[in-house]
Amino acid sequence: MSQALAHEDVIIRRGRRSGLPLIVAVHSRALGPAVGGCRLRRYDTWQHGLADALRLSEAMTYKAAVAGLDFGGGKSVIALGNDTALTPQLREAALEDLGGLIASFQGSYRTGPDVGTGPEDMVVLRRFSPYAYCAPEEHGGTGNSGSPTATGVLAALRAGARQVFGDASCTGRTVVISGFGSVGSGIAAGLAAEGAHVVVSDLEASRKEAALASGYGWVEPGQALSAPADMLVPAAVGGVLNDVTVRQITARLVVGPANNQLTEERVADVLAERGIVWVPDYVASAGGIAYALSRESEGYSHEAAQKRVEDIGDTVTRILDLALSTGTTPLRAAQQIAERRLASSAVAAQAV
C-alpha cells in the first residue's frame, strides 16, 4: 500500500490566485477532526511537498493520540519552487487559496502555523475558515506557539533525565541545542534558569551574537551532534538522525521539538543499541498544539492548558517505562500507546 493510500484524504490543487501547488493531507480522523500546521517552504518539486505532507500528517495522528487529544492528524503545504520569488502579494494570494481549500473541509481539517508561516498568516486563513489556530491574541487566537512548545520539551527533558541519570534536575548538565529559533531559545532560557550549561548552534550565523550575549556556549552546526554533552536537543530541521550521525552523538539523552528527526524508523534501534535514550519528536513537541487546542477549541483557561502541556513529562515517563519493561525502543512504545488509543476509538465507533 502506498503512503498516500494510508490517508483518509489527500487533496492536491493549483491555487487559482497564486498558481502555486497546494496540498492538504488528512491521515486520520479516528479521534476527532484532523489538525496540523500549514507549511510554506521551497521544494525541488511539488512531489517533495506531497511527501512532506504525508509524513507529517501521519506524525500528527500519533502526536495527538499519545498526548490524549481528541483530534486526528493532518498537514497542509504550500509548495514553492526553488526559483519562486515570494513577494508579499504572492504570499497573501497563496494563503487565500489555501484558506478556501481549508474552508471546504468544514472543520474536519484544522490548521495552525508551521515552518514558513506564523500567527499573522492565520489571520488571512481566518477570512475563509475559523479553524486556523494561533492567530495573534488581538485577533482571538493564542499567538505564537513557541513558548508552550518549549515548555513541553523542558518537561520531556526532565522526565528523560530522571530515567537516564536518576535525577530530573538539569543542574550542572551540559545540553547542546541544535537550532536557536523561537523554540530553541525558549528551551535554552529554561535550561539555563535550572543551572544547566547550555551550548547552542544554528545555521543562521547572525544568531551567534545573541547566544553569546545570553551567556550560552556556541558550536558550529556541523559539530553540534558530536559536541560533548549529557543531553542533545534537535530544535531545527528534521532528518538529522541517520546511521552515520547517530554514531557521532556523545549525549545519553536526545529530546527535541524538530519534526521527523529520524531518516528511517530503524535508526531508533541504532540509538538504543548505543545506549542513547531518544524521546520521539512527536511526543516532545506536542506542547504547542496541546496548548492551542486546549485554549481555542476546548475552552481551557491558561492555567489548565499549561498543566496539560506540563503533563507531557508524565507521558514521556509512561513511554520510557513501557520501553524498559518490554525491552523495546521508546519509539515503538509510543506507537503502541497511540495505536491502542486509535484502536479503542475504532471499536467504540463500531459499537454505536
Question: Is residue 39 within 8 Å of 3, Cβ to Cβ?
Answer: no
Scan for cell 511527501, then name that residue.
Answer: 51
Question: Is residue 66 within 8 Å of 337, Cβ to Cβ?
Answer: yes
3-state helix, strand, coil in the chain (%, to 5): 45, 15, 35
What is the rounded distance in angstroms from the CA atom of residue 226 to the CA atom of residue 273? 17
Rounded to a whole number of angstroms, the CA Rg of the chain reads 20
Report residue 208 CA to chain centroid gap.
24
User: What is the number of other CB atoms lying within 10 angstroms of the CB of residue 114?
Assistant: 21
Q: What is the dihedral of CA 251, 254, 260, 261, to 10 degrees?
A: 0
Query: Coil, strand or helix: which one is 286?
Result: coil
Question: Is residue 255 within 8 Å of 160, Cβ to Cβ?
Answer: yes
Strand partners, 35: 73, 110
**All 3 cell numbers of residue 2?**
502506498
Strands 72-81 and 21-28: antiparallel
State the DSSP code for 113: B
Q: What are phi and psi of 334, to 5 degrees?
A: -65, -40
Where are any strands of DSSP class E within 209-341?
A: 217-218, 231-234, 253-254, 277-278
Question: Is residue 251 within 8 Å of 270, Cβ to Cβ?
Answer: no
Residues involved in catalysis:
75
